[in-house]
Amino acid sequence: MWEALIYSIVILIAAFIVWYYLRAGIQQSKSIEGKVKQAQEEGRFQPVSLHPHIDPNRCIGSGACIRACPEEDIIGLLDGRATLINASSCIGHGACFHSCPVDAISLRIGTEERGIDLPHVKPDYETNISGIYIAGELGGMGLIKNSADQGVQACTNAAAALPKEVACDLDLVIIGAGPAGIAAALRAKELGLNFKLLEQDSLGGTVFTYPREKVVMTQPMDLPLFGKLKFYNTNKEELLSTWSKLIEDHAIPLQEHSKVKAISEQGDYHFKLELASGESLECRSVIIAIGRRGSPRKLGVAGEESEKVAYRLLEPENIQNQKVLVVGGGDSAVEAALLLMNHNQVSISYRKAHFARIKKGNQIKLEEALASGKIKPLLETNLKAIEKEAVFLLDKEGQELRIDNQKVFIFAGGELPISFLQSAGITVEKTFGKTLKKH
């Protein structure tokens, strides 16, 4: 009798547990379904660049990808399978890809509808021109850890391919002192190569252009001559300080403010680089690690050449008591507006009805700032003209708006260095939904 009672209790407990988890799964699916619908309505569902592609036939719903992603609401579980939610906010960490226990996730660049211009790069990071390699964001894989890993591998492969019979001033020139370029330089030093590291601006590349104190999301990475660099949430200053110390400690030949205008072949594994300064360098191999932004994209509006117009925000603390217009709807624009709002009158102009491509954390902060009136939204507007004391915008009805203004920040992305690559003979292709492979 007691055995039967105990058996019945065990069955009831098991049934309750099953019911509880089924109920929780249904509630979770409804929540995710609602988030997906909202993302679709607000234009967040379609990926912008590098993103995970989930095979529902292989996914077992472990949730490992969700736990691994450092961003919020990029992936969720719907009916026991992983699905994309705010795909436009994915910035390509690749953590979900590496964490999936059944390889149900691959990384893709572009979609079937939206193509992305990418240079032709082989699995060893060499382009169609023997001796020229591309590492980092320009090749489709951004973020600090991924870029650094590629820089190391590209340098290793370049060194292995160098023909001993070709005489040249330098074994290698690395263009771009961002994460990929710095990692490649450290590897070049480790291998004993004769090389130079060139940067058109300052050490750090894209990271240097971040607003002061901007948090940089990264993961631990292995750097030659240093070991594991353990950064999770850090800021621009800490990261640049670490890189500066590495450059100094290992006597890396860094040449800042040296923009490369052209690369030309002088023969097999013999290249000539022409710099904007008039200087020229000759080397046996080249690693291009300049990122995808290139030069800031200009809007071509009247008055844009004014001194009050800027395309990046470096020291927000020096701007106070100003009437500021921020133009753009991405993370850079939103972060600039947030940094400026406490000491200035800030408006943000965006051509769309929603800020559909920003990270969740920025979205929350922006909504709070808009609700409190610290930032004035000018949605569905386009900048028309800039004058000394005012700016003029057009709304969706074509009506002109005049706003008193003393400072304009434009964040309209960057012009891809397509012509620079093509002039060097590198093939650039528009890629639709290309799957990136592990290296």
pLDDT, position 377: 96
**Quick one: 182 and 277 in the same domain?**
yes
Whichever domain contains 39, its CATH number is: 3.30.70.20
67, 13: one domain: yes
Distance CA 117, CA 429 (A): 6
Dist CA 250 CA 365 (whole Å):
41
Q: Are residues 195 and 83 in the same domain?
A: no
Selection from 9-23, 158-172, 215-229, 397-411 with the highest mean pLDDT: 397-411
Nearest by Cα to 118 from 432, 391, 374, 439: 432
Q: pLDDT tens-digit profile of 317-333?
A: 889 999 999 999 988 89
Digit-coded pLDDT (tens) for 114-171: 777 778 888 899 999 999 999 987 765 556 777 888 999 999 999 999 987 767 889 9
Distance of alpha carbon 68 from the chain centroid: 18
Measured over the CA atoms of residue 160, residue 163, residue 166 and residue 167, the dihedral's sign is positive
Pairing assessment for the beta strands 75-78 and 81-84 based on DSSP bridges: antiparallel
Tell me: do 154 and 268 sit in the same domain.
yes
Structure tokens at 435: 């799957």
The model's confidence at residue 439, banded by pLDDT at 50, 70 and 90, is: very low
Q: How many CB atoms lie within 10 A of CB 249?
A: 10
Same domain, 281 and 172: yes
Q: Cβ(49)–Cβ(293) under 8 Å?
A: no
The CATH number for 266's domain is 3.50.50.60
For residue 208, what pLDDT is reported? 63
Q: Are residues 85 and 133 located together in one domain of the fold?
A: no
> Quick one: three-class SS letters along 364-417?
HHHHHHHHHCCEEEEECCEEEEECCCEEEEECCCCCEEEEECCEEEECCCEECC
* One domain, residues 88 and 128: no
Q: Which pLDDT does position 207 carry in this prediction?
A: 67
Percentage, residues of the chain above pLDDT 90: 43
Q: Which of 109, 125, 153 is the last residue of a domain?
A: 109
- Please indicate, yes or no, whether residues 181 and 263 belong to a single structural domain of this protein: yes
Say what the pLDDT of residue 330 is. Answer: 87
Q: Dihedral (C-alpha) 124, 126, 131, 136: value to the nearest 10 degrees? A: -100
Tell me, yes or no, whether 355 and 389 share the same domain. yes
Q: Which among 82, 109, 136 is the end of a domain?
A: 109
Query: Is the torsion defined by CA of 9, 13, 16, 18 positive or negative?
Result: negative
Q: Per-residue pLDDT averaged across 405-413, rounded?
A: 93
Q: Which residue, 109, 128, 144, sits at the end of a domain? A: 109
pLDDT above 70 (res 7):
no
pTM score > 0.85 for this model?
A: no
Query: What is the band of 293 on the pLDDT scale with cuts at 50, 70, 90?
Result: low
Residues 236 and 135 occupy one common structural domain = yes
Tally of CB atoms within 10 A around 158: 30
User: Is 350 in the same domain as 335?
Assistant: yes
Based on the fold, state whether residues 384 and 406 are members of the same structural domain. yes
- State how many domains the chain has: 3
**pLDDT of amino acid 419:** 85
Domain that holds residue 7: 2-109
Distance of alpha carbon 82 from alpha carbon 76, whole angstroms: 6
Contact between 173 and 196 (Cβ < 8 Å): yes
What tens digit of pLDDT does each residue of 229-280 get? 776 666 777 778 888 899 999 999 999 889 899 999 988 889 999 999 999 9
Q: Give residue-wise pLDDT tens across range 210-236.
A: 666 665 655 677 889 888 877 666 677
* Residues paired with 235 in a beta bridge: 215
Q: Which residue would you say has higher pLDDT here, 86 or 382?
A: 382
Average pLDDT, the chain: 84
